[in-house]
Each structure stands twice: as structure tokens, then as C-alpha cells.
Structure 1
Amino acid sequence: MDSAPSYRGHRYPVEVISHCVWRSFRFPLSFREVEELMLERGVSVSCETVRRWCLKFGQVYASGLRRRRPRPGDAWHPDEVFIKLNGEQKYLWRAVDQDGMVLDILVQSRRDTAAARRFFRALLTRTGEVPRVIVTDRLRSYGTAHRELMPSVEHRSHKGLNNRAENSHQPTRQRERAMKGFRNVGAAQRFLAAFSGISPHFRPRRHLMTGTQHRAEMTVRFAVWEQVTGVAGGPAAA
């Protein structure tokens, strides 16, 4: 079992820190809105403190959740969408498997062959797996990168086949609007890397479950969250 993060030096208990980070990544809330919600619960914490907690612990929590995920499926769906960073157009590359599990994300300035090649390399390194098939839209850069890096993998290219990847961008769009955009590539990459690990953990495929099944699944997922953050059996922060 992985060890819980260290909260040494923090005057707030782990329960408060992990709850603020959960709210920030699970719902399209600003840091000021999280501050207000915590105040209603009798906890006085500034929006800047919440921002620092998300920056420090977001990726740590996301990595802990990823280590507990099942192996990815063998059908990968890469896709890319543009995002605005200080008024400049950049591209968010994302890949999901056939079950909608996010495999990796990468913010880049271009959507050319070099960008596709860089994303595929990162994807193979992150997962440690090679898929049976990749499904993309008709962007030519995918074909070139595929032939260079995964020549033995089947490649299906058709706009209508990649709705699964396109749908996975929707929570990011919601968050982008709530945050009024991202400041730069580094900030966007850091936030979205943590976001793609935390938010999907609390988004099971609700449409395939009954109410009872959904509540049972969420109970399990909250228990995993408590293990990852150190709430379950972990000492309070100093």
C-alpha cells in the first residue's frame, strides 16, 4: 500500500485539506466559492490557501488514484481540442480507452506531426501498455505518428468513431469556463493532469447503474479517496 502524503507543517487537519481539494477538482467551483462553502461549514480558510493546497496535493492525490485503477483497455481514443491561454490558442491532447478512462493529457502549442509523436510517446510511457487499436479523427498527424511509433497497432481513422474521446473533453470545458481560462501552458498542464486523475474517479458511468448500484460504487470510491489522501487511518496534519 502506498504511503499517504505528508502534511507536516500544515495547521489544518488532513480532513479539511483533502475536502477542499476534492471540491476544487470535482466541481466547477472557483477557489473563492470553495472558501465560502467551507465558511458555511464553520471552517475559515482563504481562497489562496485552497489554491496552494490544490497545487501541492492535487497531482499527488491524482497519482495515488491512478495507481489503483485497473489496467487500461486495449482500444485507445486520442483526440485534441483547442484551449485559450491568455488569449493564445493552444491544444489539449487527451486519450481515453473504450471505457472512457482517461489515459493521459498533454497541453501543446501545435497539432502537427511532432505534437502527435510527442503525445504518443508520453502515452506509451505513462501507461506502460501498447493498445490493440487506436481510433482517431482524420487529422493526418495521427497517421504519421502511428506508423513511426506503433506500426503493429491497428489504426482506425473516422470522425464518427471518436465521440468517446470528444465527450471526455466536456468536464474540462466546464472547468475552463469556471476558471475563466488558464494563465499559461505550465499552469494548464499541472491543473489538468491532476483534474484528469481526480474528477473521473468521482464520475462512474451513472447511466449504466441503478440508484442503489451508484451509491454503492460511490461509497467504494470515497473509501479509496480517503486511503489515497490519508484520511483513513492517517494522522492529522501538524
Structure 2
Amino acid sequence: MPTGIAKVLKRLHYPLEVMLQCVRWYVADSLSSRDLEEMMAERGVALDHSTIHRWVIKWLPVFEKAIRRRLRPVGESWRIDETYIRVRGQWKYLYRAVDKAGHTIDFLLCPRRDTAAARRFFEKATAGRGTPTTVTVDKSGANRAALQALGAQRETPIEIRQNNYLNNLDEQDHRAIKRRLRPMLGFQNFRCARIVLGGIEAMHMIRKGQMLAPKGRRASSAEQLTCLGVFGPVET
């Protein structure tokens, strides 16, 4: 069994299938942990909603790490935008990027919306997904300043376009994330918010067909998420 999964299982005493089912439902569907508590009770499994929440916090970083290793390449024309996320009654900022085909490139939750936060996100995205040739942003001066600073360090400059119309693709993609967050009624701390958002974004990428599947197999999103870490090397 992979080290990451074995480490998570070390102090958890429920069957693996039960834990994975609850975590998958939590990030995939518009359900709260209390909804899942009732659903599992109907199936003869007695759980407390706080137990489900602990599973979510423990398992999602493992899933996200495994999913990132299996992502398909993305295009070189990026759309970058940020949306608001409520954490402990305060608004935080989820930076997100998609390519022109709508595939998620990367994401990062930041406490502030400024040049430093935008640059941190761009550096994270380019480190993991390569350097774009063109980036479309809205009229935010912070985003443009961060991209110019990043481009100044590279031999090949990045073309920056500020166009709200072209950025609609990213803004529309925010809706899938916001729809899942609605039953949660906000987060209580920043760390949990980052972990849960990472899981929701990862599931969103799976649904968009961004994860490589084993050769000759047409696995559903549920099978792909459940079997992460169990598959051998992915053949393409």
C-alpha cells in the first residue's frame, strides 16, 4: 500500500471503503457532513458528522497529491481570475486559472488580494504546469503587475491581455466550486478551507476528464478517485 495511504490509515478504525465513500461524496456533491451522517445511518453505519470532517481533512491532501501526478497537460493560453470565499466570517480570495479549453490549471486560496498574492499564485501555477505564452486577466492592476514581474525574470516574455469578455470562461468555471460550497455555509479556519477547496478542485478536474486513466480502461470519476494510489503506473 502506498506510504501516504498507509500513514492516513494508521489511526483510523473504520473500513477503508466507508471512509473513501464519505470523502468522495463530500467533495463531489452538494452535501454537508450532517447530510452524510444521515445517509450512512440509513446504510447501517453509525457515524458522527465530526468524524466525517476529520476524514475529509486527513484524506483530501493525499487525493490531491495523487491526482496532480496524473493530470493531463494543459494549453499555453491561460485565463486567470479570483473569486471570494468566506472563512470565519471574512472574505478570502481563491485564485484560479483555466486554459482556453476550460481545463483547470491551478488554484490557490490567499488571505489577501494584492500583487504579492497574485505573484505567489502565478509562481505556483507555472512551477507545476509550465509557462504560458498568453495570459488573460481582468482589469486588476495587481494581476498585471505580478505577471510583469514574473515575465521580467524569463527569457521569453508572457503576453498579457486584459479583457473581461475573454475571461468569462474562468468566471463561469467558478460556479461549479461555489455550488459545492453553498451547503457548507463557510469555513471555520483557513487551513481547513485550503484542504477542502483542494479536494473540490481536484474532483472538478476529474469530472472534466483531466486525469490520465490506465490504458484500455474507461473509469468513471468515482472509480478514478477511489482507486487513486492503488493503480500501478499510468500508461498513455
Same fold at TM > 0.5? yes
The separation in 1 between residues aligned to 2:105 and 2:2, in whole angstroms, is: 21
**Alpha-carbon distance change, 10 to 85 in structure 1, aligned in 2, over 3 angstroms:** closer
Whole-Å separation in 2 of the counterparts to 1:18 and 1:58: 10
- Residue 185 of structure 1 is matched in structure 2 by 190
Please give the TM-score of this superposition, normalised by the length of structure 1: 0.83
**1:11 aligned counterpart, secondary structure:** coil
Give the fraction of aligned pairs with identical amino acids, expressed as a percent.
Answer: 33
List per-residue Cα deviations over 1:98-146 (Å, max 9, x = no partner). Answer: 232222222223222222112111222232x111211111111122111
Output the CA distance in 1 between the equivalents of 2:78 and 2:2.
28
- What is the CA distance between 1:40 and its match in structure 2? 1.7
How far residue 187 of structure 1 moved from its aligned partner, in angstroms, is 2.2
Alignment-derived partner of residue 20 in structure 2: 18
Once the two structures are TM-superposed, the CA of residue 88 in structure 1 deviates from its matched residue by 1.9
Matching residue of 2:75: 73
**Equivalent position amino acid for 2:174 in 1:** H
TM-score (normalizing by structure 2): 0.83
Q: 63, 69, 84: which is aligned to 1:61?
A: 63
For residues 70-219 of structure 1, what are the structure 2 equivalents within 5 Å? 70-127=72-129, 129-151=130-152, 152-204=157-209, 219=219
Counterpart position of 2:45: 43
**Relative contact order: is structure 1 or structure 2 higher (C-alpha 8 Å, sep ≥ 6)?**
1
Instruction: Give the match's secondary structure for 2:227.
Output: helix
Equivalent-residue separation in structure 1 for 2:47 and 2:39 (angstroms): 10
- Once residues 109 and 58 of structure 1 are traced to their aligned partners in structure 2, the CA distance between those partners, rounded to angstroms, is 21
Q: What is the rounded CA distance, in whole Å, between the counterparts of 2:3 and 2:220 in structure 1?
A: 19
Task: Specify every segment of 5 or more residues in structure 2 that has no aligned partner in the other structure, as ranges.
Answer: 211-216
Question: For residues 25-59 of structure 1, what are the alpha-carbon distances to aligned partners after superposition, in whole Å with 9 as ceiling and x for unaligned?
Answer: 00111101011111222222221111111000011
Measured in 1, the distance between the counterparts of 2:162 and 2:132 equals 15
- Which residue in the other structure is 1:227 paired with? 227
Following TM superposition, by how much is the alpha carbon of 1:178 offset from its aligned partner in structure 2, in angstroms? 0.8
Residues 74 and 105 of structure 2 are in contact (CA less than 8 Å); yes or no, is this contact kept in structure 1? yes
Give the distance between the partners of 2:65 and 2:180, measured in 1 at CA: 20
Deviation at 1:68, TM superposition (A): 1.2
Unaligned runs of 5+ in 1: 206-216, 234-238
